[in-house]
Chain A
Amino acid sequence: EPEVTQTPSHQVTQMGQEVILRCVPISNHLYFYWYRQILGQKVEFLVSFYNNEISEKSEIFDDQFSVERPDGSNFTLKIRSTKLEDSAMYFCASSNAGTDRTDTQYFGPGTRLTVL
């Protein structure tokens, strides 16, 4: 069964450093997402991406964050200058039908980011 994959599973970085989290969505999906879960808190939407551009973003997704689909298979989240409060589990997801309210998003296993 197709699945979303993410690398690395765990990333440790120093405050102020740039990190890139990588995702390979399900191959025939067109919509891609990033969510995060700070320890003990809710899973929060960050951004959605379709047709090589951001289709929706939350207020969390500020200028420190960017997303890219550098080739036909990968989808990346970059944090330019990490802060302590960026420590969280980051989930990538993909789906077929985007804004359709019945659309199902399929999630990867997550990348745990620890900022020291």
Chain B
Amino acid sequence: GQQLNQSPQSMFIQEGEDVSMNCTSSSIFNTWLWYKQDPGEGPVLLIALYKAGELTSNGRLTAQFGITRKDSFLNISASIPSDVGIYFCAGHRRGGTSYGKLTFGQGTILTVHP
């Protein structure tokens, strides 16, 4: 099946540092999404990207949809302790049997030291 390679697997940073993570795929996606999961909860959508090349910000978060439609990155600026959690990328392809299904990356575990 489709695979999303998300990196890094984990990050340990100091409060105030910037964070960058990315996802790559061998297949083209029509939509890229970034989710955050806090302990004991379900993933929550952070940013959705619908066009190749699109750059979108949500507060301290910035994400981009790669031009090739096979990759995306998420940046977090000036990290704070509540940024701790697992970040997932997800891709969606329209059409055929893929419609309606998301493929998730393996997740990036972020730890922020005060």
| Co-complex (A, B) | no
Residues of B whose CB lies within 8 Å of any CB of A are: none
